[in-house]
Amino acid sequence: MAERCAVIGVGQTHYRTRRHDVSIAGLVREAALRALADAELTFADIDAVVIGKAPDLFEGVMMPEAYLADALGAAGKPVTRVHTAGSVGGSTALVGASLIQGGVHERVLVVAFEKQSESNATWALSTHLPFTASLVVGAGGYFAPHIREYMRRSGAPGHIGTLVAVKDRQNALKNPYAHLRIPGISREMVESTPMLWEPIRYLETCPSSDGACAMVLAAEHKVTGTPAWVHGAAMRSEPIFRAGRDTVSPQGGKDCAADVYRQAGITDPRREIDVAEVYVPFSWYEPMWLENLGFAGEGEGWKLTESGATALTGDIPWNASGGVLSSNPIGASGLIRFAEAALQVRGLAGDHQVDGARLALGHAYGGGAQFFAMWIVGADRP
């Protein structure tokens, strides 16, 4: 890695089903201004802006970076729009970091958003390209068979997903920005909700949220305040259609994790990483990604979840913020993971702070579990 890069500001909106009080521009500006305030900077201090969001069909605005340039103080500056499906928030952070690591800019604002109340995401996900078949099942319908295959392979008992759903929602009660805040959330409550796509119940899925997240990234000589240093950053993609592709534990996820661990000098992620913000839109993805990311051996991820290791009080807390299960402005969801990882190592995560967190993983995935973006951030300079 060339130049060192650090997160010096994080801003989030409150995630809600509907933010009728702001336009899309107002939403992204709210997050951007909070990130700038955190960094004690203004738009004038920013060299370049990187915007990420999931498909344009979600809001019905084509290439919205053009319209959002003014709201993000980007007029007169370079602005780029990233789109890598569900992993886009993570990719947006990585493109922003790249501008600094490559020595091109000194301070970069990255912003990702989704305002799902302005459209219908399941509809937007279900239309299809000419010449291709549409499953018309939305994201849950696509991922449910992969989850069932995970259960078959690993022999995981049926209640593991429920445990994750409860754990992440309990964590969300400590996060003032979280969308789903369900007092008294319990296994019985999750199990009493309707089955949407076997084995995914209603409360084992992520909500549809309006929201935005922003970060200010800085080169080493521009670092101010409390930085979260980038120790490793990587993206990986693989084709959605490839005979024999393992969609339960995709190679792209394994390779991406291996790359960030190598950069950060991590050989045992479970012991060396203090907290992880991992893209878990359906509860069962926690045990699946525990294995894919090397926190547990093959078939062992669910045992880690069941043991309580990934709880806020466990030895490797996953999604202390409440995760995607509690807040899901799709395009921003990956960036929230990256930003929450940064907040943890800066010691600024508030009530959901993991004591003494020094090294954190931010993770995002998208498409048919084929796009991956990850970073490792640390309190210490790499």
Partner 1 sequence: MREVAVVAFAQTRHTDHDEGLSEPELIAPVIEEVKRVSGLSRFGFTCSGSCDYLAGAPFSFVSALDAIGAWPPISESHVEMDAAWALYEAWVRLQHGDVDSALVYGFGKSSQTDVREVMTLQLDPYYLAPLGLDQVSYAALQASALGAPEAELREIARRSRADGRANPYALHLPDPTGDDPYQVRPLRSCDVAPPTDGAAAVVLAAGDLATRIAERPAWITGIAHRAEPHYLGMRDLARSASAADAGRAAGVGKGPVDVAELHTQFSHEEIILRDALGLGPDVAVNPSGGPLAANPVMATGLIRVGEAARRIMAGDAARAVGHATSGPCLQQNLVTVMEA
Site for partner 1 in 61-100 (CB under 8 A): 61-70, 74-85, 91, 94-95, 98-99
Site for partner 1 in 95-134 (CB under 8 A): 95, 98-99, 101-104, 118, 124-125, 127-132
Quick one: tokens of 333?
A: 């969801």
C-alpha pair distances (Å), 83 with each of 168, 272, 334: 27, 31, 12
The residue type at 380: D
Selected binder of partner 1 within 23, 193, 224, 247 (CB under 8 A): 23
Give 54 or 325: the residue with its C-beta nearer to partner 1: 54
Q: C-beta of 120: minimal distance to partner 1 in Å?
A: 12
Q: By rule CB under 8 A, what count of residues binds partner 1?
A: 71
What is residue 278's three-state secondary structure? coil
Site for partner 1 in 191-250 (CB under 8 A): 234-242, 250
Residues 6+ apart with CB under 8 A from 356: 274
DSSP at 351 = G
Chain position carrying tokens 């951007």: 32
Q: C-beta of 176: minimal distance to partner 1 in Å?
A: 28
Q: C-beta of 141: minimal distance to partner 1 in Å?
A: 15
Site for partner 1 in 301-320 (CB under 8 A): none
Distance CA 46, CA 190 (A): 44
Give 211 or 322: the residue with its C-beta nearer to partner 1: 211
Distance CA 154, CA 237 (A): 25
Give 86 or 323: the residue with its C-beta nearer to partner 1: 86
Q: C-beta of 243: minimal distance to partner 1 in Å?
A: 10
Give 70 or 188: the residue with its C-beta nearer to partner 1: 70
What is residue 355's three-state secondary structure? coil
Parallel, antiparallel, or unpaired: how do β-strands 371-378 and 48-52 relate?
unpaired
The answer to whether 341 touches 228, Cβ cutoff 8 Å, is yes
Site for partner 1 in 34-63 (CB under 8 A): 54-57, 59-63
Site for partner 1 in 245-264 (CB under 8 A): 250-252, 255-256, 259
